[in-house]
């Protein structure tokens, strides 16, 4: 099997890390959100919105960095809608998330067709590759970790940032308290609504950044529904990773590996129909989740609107 040379294996691992970038970011968002007690199946829609708005702003300003910023802000805005619906108005959190997913597909599609596709504007550049001086020359590790673009570096840093916030800080303790037993948090003098709002909005920022990966890092273009269900795979990664940032990163790696492997096999001319190779990440998700379900324990109060008495 000639495609399994040393070079290829390193390349495969490097591609895995890159492919895992949006999964991990959205999963981190899911963790922030669900640890505070709010289910977020809107990650998919938030990423798609981030991808679109980021691309549109980059196109209009000729500046990819403003595009990345805009993706994050757009994610926060649409997450605020999720927070308002599910925390304040106590709409069922699944319904609210689904509403946002459908809304995102519709709105980004309409705007894309009416304004961008027809404008004939040239797409913005993709984010530059940064080789970290010194580290990028390391054997194997350098290629995998230190020759990447901005969103991937940001992901690597955010894994540890979210870990510290959730498990080491005052904010994290309060977040976990709201997700486990909001009534207890309230009697301890914590404003459950405030904590949930901030966490939902933060999850929007993270997923929005994940969205920027698609349009500004990967291809420098926007395509309708380009997130292709990655937001849902991110949810699976969050569950498989037991609602921990490092676990979710590991799970994202697994899903991304099957994705990367699928595309490598295509290039290597293995005689499996391309459609089957494309199914790989989704199949792995189903298999892994079937095994993980029931064993992973969600925050006790996740999905339940909190009503002050």
Strands 147-149 and 129-131: antiparallel
Where in 179-208 is the site for other proteins (CB under 8 A)?
180-181, 183-190
Residue with Cβ nearer other proteins (134 or 189): 189
Where in 91-110 is the site for other proteins (CB under 8 A)?
none
Residue with Cβ nearer other proteins (130 or 171): 171
Q: How far is the CB of 189 from other proteins (least distance, A)?
A: 4
Q: Could you give the string, one character per residue 143-182, with x where binding to other proteins holds by CB under 8 A and - elsewhere?
A: ---------------------x---xxxx-xx-xx--xx-
Count of C-beta atoms within a 10 Å radius of residue 104 = 26
Q: How far is the CB of 34 from other proteins (least distance, A)?
A: 14
DSSP 225: T
Q: How far is the CB of 174 from other proteins (least distance, A)?
A: 7
Q: How far is the CB of 169 from other proteins (least distance, A)?
A: 5
Count of C-beta atoms within a 10 Å radius of residue 269 = 8
How far is it, in rounded angstroms, from Cα 215 to Cα 48? 9
Total of residues contacting other proteins (CB under 8 A)? 21
Residue with Cβ nearer other proteins (66 or 173): 173
The length of the chain, given as a count of residues: 309
Residue with Cβ nearer other proteins (54 or 299): 299
How far is it, in rounded angstroms, from Cα 240 to Cα 234? 10
Q: How far is the CB of 284 from other proteins (least distance, A)?
A: 27
Where in 280-309 is the site for other proteins (CB under 8 A)?
300, 309
How far is it, in rounded angstroms, from Cα 244 to Cα 34? 11
Residue with Cβ nearer other proteins (113 or 168): 168
How far is it, in rounded angstroms, from Cα 71 to Cα 275? 31
Count of C-beta atoms within a 10 Å radius of residue 266 = 14
Is-contact 152 25, C-beta < 8 A? no
Buried b (16+ CB within 10 A) or exposed e, 149-180: bbbbbbbbebbeebbebbeeeeebebbbbbbb
* Interaction site with other proteins (CB under 8 A): 164, 168-171, 173-174, 176-177, 180-181, 183-190, 300, 309
């Amino acid at each position: 099997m000639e495609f399994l040379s040393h070079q290829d294996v390193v390349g495969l691992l490097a591609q895995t890390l890159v492919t895992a970038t949006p999964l991990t970011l959205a999963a981190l968002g899911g963790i922030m959100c669900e640890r505070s007690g709010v289910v977020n199946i809107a990650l998919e829609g938030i990423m798609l919105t981030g991808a679109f708005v980021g691309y549109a702003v980059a196109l209009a300003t000729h500046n990819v960095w403003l595009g990345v910023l805009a993706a994050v802000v757009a994610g926060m805005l649409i997450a605020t809608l999720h927070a308002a619906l599910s925390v304040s108005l106590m709409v069922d959190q699944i319904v609210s998330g689904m509403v946002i997913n459908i809304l995102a597909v519709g709105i980004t599609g309409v705007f894309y067709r009416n304004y961008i596709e027809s404008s004939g504007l040239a797409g913005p550049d993709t984010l530059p590759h940064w080789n970290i001086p010194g580290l990028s020359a390391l054997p194997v590790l350098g290629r995998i970790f230190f020759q990447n673009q901005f969103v991937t570096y940001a992901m690597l840093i955010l894994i540890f940032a979210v870990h510290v916030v959730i498990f080491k800080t005052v904010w994290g303790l309060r977040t976990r308290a709201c997700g486990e037993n909001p009534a207890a948090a309230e009697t301890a003098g914590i404003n459950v609504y405030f904590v949930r709002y901030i966490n939902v909005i933060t999850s929007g920022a993270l997923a929005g950044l994940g969205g920027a990966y698609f349009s500004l890092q990967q291809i420098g273009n926007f395509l309708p529904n380009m997130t292709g269900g990655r937001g849902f795979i991110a949810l699976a990664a969050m569950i498989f990773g037991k609602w921990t940032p490092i676990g979710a990163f590991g799970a994202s790696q697994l899903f991304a590996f099957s994705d990367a492997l699928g595309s490598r096999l295509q290039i290597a001319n293995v005689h499996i129909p391309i459609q089957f190779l494309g199914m790989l990440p989704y199949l792995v998700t189903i298999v892994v989740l079937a095994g993980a379900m029931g064993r992973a324990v969600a925050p006790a109060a996740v999905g339940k609107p909190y009503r002050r008495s």
